[in-house]
Structure 1
Amino acid sequence: MNELTFAGPTGIVILIAYAVVMLVIGWFAGRGQAGAAKTNKGYYLSGGGLGFVALLFTLYATQYSGNAIVGYAPSAYRSGFVWWQSVPFMIAVIAAYLVFAPRLYVIAKKRGFVTPTDWIHHRFGSTKLAVLVAVLMLWGLANYLLEQLVAMGHGIAGLTGNTVPYQVGVIAFVLVMLVYSWTGGMRAVALTDVMQGIALLVGIGVLLFGALYLVGGDLAGVTRYVAETDPAKAGVPTGEDSVNWLSMVLLVGLGASVYPHAIQRIYAARSERTLKRSLAIMAWMPLATTGVVFVVGIVGIQLFPGLSEDDSEQLVGMIANEVAGLNIVFYLMMILLFGGVVAAIVSTADSALLSFSSIISKDVYGRYLGRGAPEEKQVRVGKVAGVAAIAVLLLIAWNPPGTLVSIFVLKFELIVQLVPVFMLGLYWQRMAAGPAFWGMLAGALTAGGLTVADLGPFYGVPGGLVGLALNVAICVVGSLLLAPPEVSRTSHGEAASAVER
Structure 2
Amino acid sequence: MKLAFAGPDGVIILILYAVVMLWIGYVAGRGQKSLQKSLSGYYLAGKNLGIIALFFTLYATQYSGNTIVGYAPTAYREGFSWLQSIPFMTIIIAMYLMFAPRLYVISKRKNFVTPTDWISYRFQSKGVTLLAIFLMLWGLGNYLLEQLVAIGHAVAGMTGGTIPYQWGVIAFVLVMLAYEWLGGMKAVAFTDVMQGVVLMIGVVVFLGGAFYLVGGNFADVTRQIAETEPAKVAVPGWETSINWFSMLLLVGFGAAIYPHAVQRIYSAESERTLKRSFARMAWMPPLTTGLVFLIGIIGISLFPGLDERGSEQLVGLIANQVASINLIFYWVMVLFFGAIVAAIISTADSVLLSFSSMLSNDLYGKYINPDASEERKVKFGKIGGVIAVAILLWIAWNPPATLYDIFVLKFELLVQVAPAFFLGLYWKRLSAGPVFWGMLTGAICSGALTLSGFGTLWGIHGGVIGLILNLLICVAGSYMTSVSTDHQRQAEEKMAMNL
Q: Same fold (TM over 0.5)?
A: yes
Cα deviation 1:67-105 (Å, max 9, x = unaligned): 211211111122211111111000000000000000000
Task: Report the CA distance between 1:139 and its aligned residue.
Answer: 0.2
Most deviating of 379-388 and 299-308: 299-308
Q: Which residue of 2 aligns with 1:310?
A: 309
Q: Which residue of 2 aligns with 1:65?
A: 64
Query: Does residue 125 of the first structure (1) align with residue 127 of the second (2)?
Result: no
Task: Report the CA distance between 1:400 and its aligned residue.
Answer: 6.7
Verify the 8 A CA contact 2:428 2:495 in the aligned structure 1: no
Name the aligned partner's letter for residue 303 of structure 1.
L
- State the secondary structure of the residue aligned to 1:426: coil
Q: Which residue of 2 aligns with 1:367?
A: 366
Count residues in correspondence.
Answer: 495
Q: Which residue of 1 aligns with 2:472?
A: 473
- State the secondary structure of the residue aligned to 1:427: coil
CA distance in 1, matches of 2:330, 2:399: 31
Q: Which residue of 2 aligns with 1:4?
A: 4
Query: Does residue 461 of the first structure (1) align with residue 469 of the second (2)?
Result: no
Q: Which residue of 2 aligns with 1:238?
A: 237
CA distance in 1, matches of 2:137, 2:325: 45
Q: Give the percent of matched residue pairs that are identical in Structure 1 and Structure 2.
A: 62
Distance change in 2, residues 1:13/1:399 (3 Å): farther
Cα deviation 1:50-80 (Å, max 9, x = unaligned): 1110000000000112321121111112221
Verify the 8 A CA contact 1:155 1:317 in the aligned structure 2: no
Distance change in 2, residues 1:271/1:32 (3 Å): same
Q: TM-score, length-normalised on structure 1?
A: 0.95
Verify the 8 A CA contact 2:71 2:292 in the aligned structure 1: yes
Task: Report the CA distance between 1:487 and its aligned residue.
Answer: 5.2
Verify the 8 A CA contact 1:55 1:278 in the aligned structure 2: yes
Task: Report the CA distance between 1:301 and its aligned residue.
Answer: 1.8
CA distance in 2, matches of 1:3, 1:347: 22
Distance change in 2, residues 1:396/1:318 (3 Å): farther
Task: Report the CA distance between 1:494 and its aligned residue.
Answer: 4.6
Task: Report the CA distance between 1:183 and its aligned residue.
Answer: 1.1
Q: Which residue of 2 aligns with 1:355?
A: 354
Where in structure 2 are there 5+ consecutive unaligned residues? none
CA distance in 2, matches of 1:409, 1:287: 28
Verify the 8 A CA contact 2:96 2:256 in the aligned structure 1: yes
Name the aligned partner's letter for residue 5 of structure 2.
T
Q: Which residue of 2 aligns with 1:255?
A: 254
Q: Which residue of 2 aligns with 1:296?
A: 295
CA distance in 2, matches of 1:306, 1:273: 50
Q: Which residue of 2 aligns with 1:52?
A: 51
CA distance in 2, matches of 1:227, 1:474: 47
CA distance in 2, matches of 1:293, 1:160: 23
Q: Detail structure 1 runs of 4+ shifted over 4 Å in the superposition.
A: 399-402, 406-409, 485-488
CA distance in 1, matches of 2:490, 2:294: 49
CA distance in 1, matches of 2:311, 2:240: 22
- State the secondary structure of the residue aligned to 1:117: helix
Distance change in 2, residues 1:219/1:321 (3 Å): same
CA distance in 2, matches of 1:307, 1:395: 32
Distance change in 2, residues 1:266/1:3 (3 Å): closer
CA distance in 1, matches of 2:350, 2:183: 12
CA distance in 2, matches of 1:497, 1:30: 33
CA distance in 2, matches of 1:320, 1:224: 23
Q: Which residue of 1 aligns with 2:264?
A: 265
Task: Report the CA distance between 1:228 and its aligned residue.
Answer: 2.5
Most deviating of 349-358 and 71-80: 71-80
CA distance in 2, matches of 1:79, 1:161: 29
- State the secondary structure of the residue aligned to 1:466: helix
- State the secondary structure of the residue aligned to 1:232: helix
Please tell me the root mean square deviation across aligned C-alpha atoms, in Å: 2.0
Verify the 8 A CA contact 1:70 1:155 in the aligned structure 2: no
Cα deviation 1:116-141 (Å, max 9, x = unaligned): 11101111100110000000000000
Q: How does 1:438-453 map to 2 (within 5 A)?
A: 438-453=437-452
CA distance in 1, matches of 2:368, 2:465: 35
Name the aligned partner's letter for residue 420 of structure 1.
P
Q: Which residue of 2 aligns with 1:432?
A: 431
Task: Report the CA distance between 1:250 and its aligned residue.
Answer: 1.1
Q: Which residue of 2 aligns with 1:113?
A: 112
Task: Report the CA distance between 1:497 and its aligned residue.
Answer: 4.3
Task: Report the CA distance between 1:493 and its aligned residue.
Answer: 3.3
Verify the 8 A CA contact 1:431 1:484 in the aligned structure 2: no
Q: How does 1:95-106 map to 2 (within 5 A)?
A: 95-106=94-105
Q: Which residue of 2 aligns with 1:155?
A: 154
Q: How does 1:164-175 map to 2 (within 5 A)?
A: 164-175=163-174
Verify the 8 A CA contact 1:66 1:152 in the aligned structure 2: no
Task: Report the CA distance between 1:371 and its aligned residue.
Answer: 2.2
Where in structure 1 are there 5+ consecutive unaligned residues? none
Most deviating of 57-66 and 163-172: 163-172
Task: Report the CA distance between 1:310 and its aligned residue.
Answer: 2.9
Q: Which residue of 1 aligns with 2:139?
A: 140
Task: Report the CA distance between 1:376 and its aligned residue.
Answer: 1.0
Verify the 8 A CA contact 1:5 1:322 in the aligned structure 2: no
Q: Which residue of 1 aligns with 2:16?
A: 17
Verify the 8 A CA contact 1:115 1:359 in the aligned structure 2: yes
Most deviating of 258-267 and 58-67: 58-67
Distance change in 2, residues 1:487/1:171 (3 Å): farther
Task: Report the CA distance between 1:488 and its aligned residue.
Answer: 5.1
Q: Which residue of 1 aligns with 2:39?
A: 40
Q: TM-score, length-normalised on structure 2?
A: 0.95
Task: Report the CA distance between 1:175 and its aligned residue.
Answer: 1.3
Verify the 8 A CA contact 1:117 1:130 in the aligned structure 2: yes
